Amino acid sequence: MAVKKGQIVELEIESTAFKGKGVGKIDGQTVFISGVAPGDKVEGRIIKKKKKYLEAKRLQIIEPSPLRIEPKCGHADVCGGCTWQHLSYRHQLEIKEQHVRDHIERIAGLDLDLVEPILGCENEFYYRNKMEYSFGTKRWLTDAEINADEFVDDSGFSAGLHAPGRFDKILNLKECHLQPEFSYQILDFVRNFCNQNGIPAFDTFKRDGFMRHLVIRNSHYTDDLMVNLVTFKDDPEIIGKLADQLLTEFPIITTVVNNVNDQPNPTAVGRYENVIFGPGYIVDRIGKHAFKIHANAFFQTNTKQAEKLYSVAKEFAQINANSLLFDLYCGVGTLSLFMADKARKVLGIELVDVAVKNARYNADENGVTNTEFVLGDMKDTFNDDFLSKHGLPDCIITDPPRSGMHPDVVTMFTKLDVPRIVYVSCNPSTMARDLNILKEFYDIERIQPVDMFPQTYHIEAVAKLNRK
């Protein structure tokens, strides 16, 4: 009998797959289900039925896996910030490494021996240097509240993270262990301040209210700490009072800024910014270079692991004092600057205008004179004319978005007689797709997984390619 949508089923979880979902089987069909561990026996309800697979929602754990541990955070079962707190970090690393191996073998058709043992993170928790919290007028209910016989009101001021897959509901956090402990303490203080002073959260549907986001950024290498209050309106009186009380309660704060986003978009980037206290930025380092990090600037979220990732890329690049290096999808130039001390010249290409401006600024601030940054869409910019102008590089580093490289860029790689390519990926499945094409023209020498985000399913990998 065919499995129907809404049907309750029992599943034995065999493994994990995309986005950290568990994999089970029923009547020969693959079922994906979240919040489980390999070895769990669970009861779930079928919520999606596709041609090749089913999706289920976990109802209860019938028999827990021996791999399962007690999560550190009380929100772990419902929060989208962490997906694997119910697994020890050792098992998380094993699963992530296996995911990279599966992609390399199944999608790229390459030998598993190319994949090196994963490089883990020293800190399983409190590793993030940035947290973006949201405020809302609707909170996410607990399972007990959802299943209660009586009506449970979900309205009211809430502060925390968006519930998984929901833009309109906020998980009202009582704890969080991704950023150092002051982060949640500041969130709790701001929430209490707003409740005590009758300051409303922004209402997504009514497009009215005040508090939208709280973004906290801290430096790994200095004592700098930024609080960014993102509001729907510009009200110096409210923000001034809140900032004064924050600075009294948390003297470790070195700067407070107020981004005013009075537009419909849900981002934490304001249409304009007011610096309330301090310089309006923090300073951190990657390698020997210092970076001024403003409220809306991009910076690697895990500073120490970024250095580890960049060190692998630098080793794979094998550059020397005569090397010309291209850094594709260069962002704000952190990787370009990390490479610059070993190369004759590093040339970065980036689509985002503000990122290119930041890259040039970062180079100037650090006195790096052998870098150049070009604004342009990779598929249109990285072409024969570009090579005629700048020359053929000795090595290309490519760090594309999760979707991987544009097909035109991959095709360009197949035509170039570049000795070496270093592929840095935040999505090993799309990297494997590109490697499957490039392997005809390049020997894939090594692939190094690097874990940047413990407690989540995300995994980075670096591949070294040598021209045949």
Distance of CA 451 to the CA centre of its chain: 11
Which tokens is 118 given? 């994963």
Contact 276, 257 (CB under 8 A): yes
Measured at the CA of 357, the angle between CA 353 and CA 360, to 5 degrees, comes to 140
Q: Which of 16, 22, 6, 20 is nearest to 61 (CA)?
A: 22
Burial of residue 51, with CB atoms counted within 10 A of its CB: 0-12 exposed, 13-18 middle, 19 or more buried: exposed
Return the number of other C-beta atoms located less than 10 Å from residue 338's C-beta: 22
Which of these is catalytic: 82, 121, 330, 426? 426
452 Cβ neighbours under 8 A, 6+ residues apart: 121, 300, 301, 302, 305, 306, 309, 458, 459, 460
Edge-to-edge order in the sheet of strand 22-26: 8-12, 41-49, 53-63, 29-33, 22-26, 15-16
Q: Is 79 a catalytic residue?
A: no
Distance of CA 421 to the CA centre of its chain: 24
For the annotated catalytic residues, the residue numbers are: 426
